[in-house]
């Protein structure tokens, strides 16, 4: 019987497998950031052991960093402490750090791919749930907890049960104004935020194949928002073209050898998945969320589903979510005013996202009632945007181009959305308080966010592009 892509990569990394026990899986790349690494470093220190493979470990500061005046000392005390600890720990344990001020600094899931660290066939982990992003290259990439971070530091391995696999196929052509973010928000609205629990999801089908690497990263990034362990897409020419020539990509003969191997990384025709879902790209509208988990999404012209239509056991939490958001049953969101627009996060802060926004807003101005924050995913994205004059377009539109970091994706730094305010956000989570206490988040694509910034309210991008 053939193998799935996950099985092929998994089997190539098993150090030891024994009936009745978890597998010992070798980890090629360990990414770390300031939030989930301090206790793991402490653990090593207590045991008097080093980081086993420091050259396969890469650190960056992203969650706690300010996104204005990064050259100045960090104001928030806890944030400063976290970032200082990372500097100290990486120095002590000999791990490369792309910290504040470094030209490679950025959100961990943005810098891995852009530096060519993320490659097909690898196993990659990080103490961060959105590590699934790297699966877009045909890698097994997943988030781990702090105790596992310590395990990987110490051994470059993890003890793991082989995961179940799900295939999600999206076939057909996307309508104008509909992109990768809409695909994934649509999928999660159908599966619910728990529909992928326990699975590694392989995304396939013509609509997925036609996506750029940036788009594929957006989809895999949010695979965990349907509860999945991770998401991945078989590598193809689009993948190889993206990786080639990047800083840490193989070069010369090693490149040819790598591509020969990468071309074997796909699910065999007769591979068995534990579950298969199919969607039609033509059914997907620009999406927006109305609730407090990413599964609570609707097509932009649809109405918010009624509480009574929900399973009885879920009605109280559904009602609570609508109350939190200040929305009602059957309400339509088009025309609803917006206070903040946040374009950023590891879901949508890559150069392609910024280009999409810039080409839409060129020559337009933001509405007076909105504040617009654009936060590039990395120093390299920021530099590229400036090189292309995208920063000028934003400035003329009244948008602020900030410096790289997680920013208002989560209120762990200085960038918070004030209580009660509505924010259209290109990030991946709309949980209560996620962007600041009592802030109201509506997840959408960069294009829908840009259109809202100009109109000052929610609009259907199909009518304006
Ligand atoms: C802080 C970190 C552990 C967390 C995660 O794992 O995802 C964060 O990145 C998030 O998006 O909520
Ligand atoms: S940008 Fe948001 S989702 Fe991504 S790693 Fe940072 S906090 Fe997590």
| Euclidean distance between CA atoms 166 and 232, whole angstroms | 10
Residues having CB within 6 Å of any atom of ligand 2: 62-63, 107, 109, 128, 130, 345-346, 406, 409-410, 427-428
Q: Please give the number of the atom of ligand 2 that sits closest to the Cα of 410.
A: 7
How does strand 287-289 pair with strand 297-299? antiparallel
Of 241, 276, 311, the one marking the end of a domain is 276
> In this structure, what CATH number is given to the domain that contains residue 440?
3.30.499.10
- Measured in Å, residue 62 CA sits from the centre of ligand 1 at 11
pLDDT mean over 215-239: 98
- 247 and 307 together in one domain: no
323 in any annotated domain: yes
Q: Which residues contact 138 (CB under 8 A, 6 or more apart)?
A: 5, 9, 120, 121, 232, 233, 234, 235, 239, 262, 265
Ligand 1 atom 2, closest CA: 128
| Euclidean distance between CA atoms 348 and 214, whole angstroms | 8
pLDDT at position 411, please?
87
| Euclidean distance between CA atoms 269 and 3, whole angstroms | 9
Domain enclosing residue 93, as ranges: 5-276
281 in any annotated domain: no
Choosing from 410, 426, 428, 433 the residue with most ligand 1 atoms within 8 A of its CB, the one to mutate for a pocket test is: 410
pLDDT at position 379, please?
98
- The values of phi and psi at residue 282, to 5°, are -65, -20
Neighbours of 213 (CB within 10 A): 21
Which residues are annotated as part of the binding site for [4Fe-4S] cluster? 346, 406, 409
- 267 and 411 together in one domain: no
ipTM of the complex: 0.99
pLDDT at position 150, please?
98
pLDDT band at 120 (very low <50, low <70, confident <90, very high): very high
- 147 and 109 together in one domain: yes
Identify the three-state secondary structure at position 35: coil
Q: Which ligand is nearest to the CA of 377?
A: 2
Burial of 177 (0-12, 13-18, 19+ CB in 10 A): buried
Ligand 2 atom 4, closest CA: 346
Of 242, 276, 310, the one marking the end of a domain is 276
- 175 and 144 together in one domain: yes
137 in any annotated domain: yes
Per-residue pLDDT for 1 more than 90?
Answer: no
283 in any annotated domain: no
CB 246 within 8 A of CB 119: no
pLDDT at position 49, please?
98
Give tens-digit pLDDT for 409-445: 998 999 999 999 999 999 999 999 999 999 999 999 9
| Euclidean distance between CA atoms 218 and 35, whole angstroms | 22
Per-residue pLDDT for 162 more than 90?
Answer: yes
- 246 and 307 together in one domain: no
Identify the three-state secondary structure at position 202: strand
| Euclidean distance between CA atoms 13 and 156, whole angstroms | 11
Per-residue pLDDT for 451 more than 90?
Answer: yes
pLDDT at position 344, please?
98
Per-residue pLDDT for 228 more than 90?
Answer: yes
Q: Which residues contact 193 (CB under 8 A, 6 or more apart)?
A: 225, 226, 227, 293, 294, 295, 296
CB 236 within 8 A of CB 208: no
pLDDT band at 146 (very low <50, low <70, confident <90, very high): very high
Of 243, 276, 309, the one marking the end of a domain is 276
| Euclidean distance between CA atoms 136 and 246, whole angstroms | 16
pLDDT at position 185, please?
98
Q: Which residues contact 267 (CB under 8 A, 6 or more apart)?
A: 2, 3, 4, 5, 167, 202, 204, 234, 273
- 296 and 264 together in one domain: no
- 431 and 454 together in one domain: yes
Give tens-digit pLDDT for 199-212: 999 999 999 999 99
Give tens-digit pLDDT for 22-34: 999 999 999 999 9
Q: Give just the sign of the alpha carbon dihedral 335, 341, 347, 348.
A: positive
- 271 and 292 together in one domain: no
375 in any annotated domain: yes
Number of domains in the chain: 2
Per-residue pLDDT for 81 more than 90?
Answer: yes
Q: DSSP string covering 162-199, please?
A: PPEEEEEEEES-PPTT--HHHHHHHHHHHH-TTTTTTE
Q: Which ligand is nearest to the CA of 110?
A: 2
| DSSP conformational letter for 311 | -
Ligand 1 atom 6, closest CA: 128
- Separation of CA 426 from chain center: 10
Ligand 1 atom 8, closest CA: 128
Per-residue pLDDT for 377 more than 90?
Answer: yes
- 111 and 11 together in one domain: yes
């Amino acid at each position: 019987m053939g193998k799935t892509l996950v099985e092929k990569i998994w089997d190539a990394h098993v150090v030891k497998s024994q009936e009745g026990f978890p597998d010992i899986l070798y980890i090629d790349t360990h990414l770390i950031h300031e939030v989930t690494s301090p206790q793991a470093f402490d653990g090593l220190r207590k045991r008097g052991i080093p980081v086993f493979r420091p050259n396969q470990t890469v650190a960056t500061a992203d969650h706690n960093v300010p996104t204005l005046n990064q050259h100045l000392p960090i104001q928030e005390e806890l944030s400063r402490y976290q970032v200082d600890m990372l500097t100290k720990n990486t120095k002590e344990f000999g791990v490369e750090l792309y910290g504040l001020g470094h030209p490679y600094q950025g959100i961990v899931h943005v810098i891995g791919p852009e530096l060519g660290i993320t490659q097909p066939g690898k196993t990659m982990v990080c103490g961060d749930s959105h590590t699934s992003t790297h699966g877009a290259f045909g890698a097994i990439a997943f988030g781990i907890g702090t105790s596992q971070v310590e395990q990987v530091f110490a051994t470059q391995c993890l003890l793991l049960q082989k995961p179940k696999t799900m295939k999600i196929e999206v076939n057909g052509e996307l309508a104008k104004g509909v992109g990768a973010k809409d695909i994934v928000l649509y999928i999660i609205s159908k599966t619910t935020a728990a529909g992928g629990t326990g699975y590694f999801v392989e995304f396939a089908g013509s609509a997925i194949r036609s996506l750029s690497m940036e788009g594929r990263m957006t989809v895999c990034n949010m695979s965990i928002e349907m509860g999945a362990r991770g998401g991945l897409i078989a590598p193809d020419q689009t993948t190889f073209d993206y990786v080639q020539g990047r800083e840490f990509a193989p070069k010369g003969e090693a490149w040819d050898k790598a591509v020969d191997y990468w071309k074997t990384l796909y699910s065999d025709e007769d591979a068995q998945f534990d579950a298969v879902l199919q969607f039609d790209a033509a059914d997907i509208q620009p999406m927006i969320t109305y609730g407090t988990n990413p599964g609570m999404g609707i097509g932009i012209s649809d109405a918010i589903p009624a509480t009574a239509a929900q399973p009885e056991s879920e009605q109280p939490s559904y009602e609570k979510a609508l109350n939190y958001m200040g929305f009602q049953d059957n309400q339509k969101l088009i025309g609803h005013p917006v206070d903040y627009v946040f374009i950023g996060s590891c879901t949508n802060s890559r150069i392609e996202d910024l280009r999409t926004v810039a080409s839409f807003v060129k020559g337009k101005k933001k509405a007076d009632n909105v504040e617009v924050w654009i936060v590039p995913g990395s120093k390299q994205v920021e530099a590229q945007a400036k090189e292309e004059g995208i920063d000028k377009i934003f400035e003329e539109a009244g948008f602020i181009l900030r410096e790289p970091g997680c920013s208002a994706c989560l209120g762990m730094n200085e960038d918070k959305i004030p209580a009660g305010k509505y924010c259209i956000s290109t990030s991946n989570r709309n949980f209560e308080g996620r962007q600041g206490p009592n802030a109201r988040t509506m997840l959408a694509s960069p294009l829908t966010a840009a259109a809202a910034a100009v109109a000052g309210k929610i609009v259907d991008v199909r009518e304006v592009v």
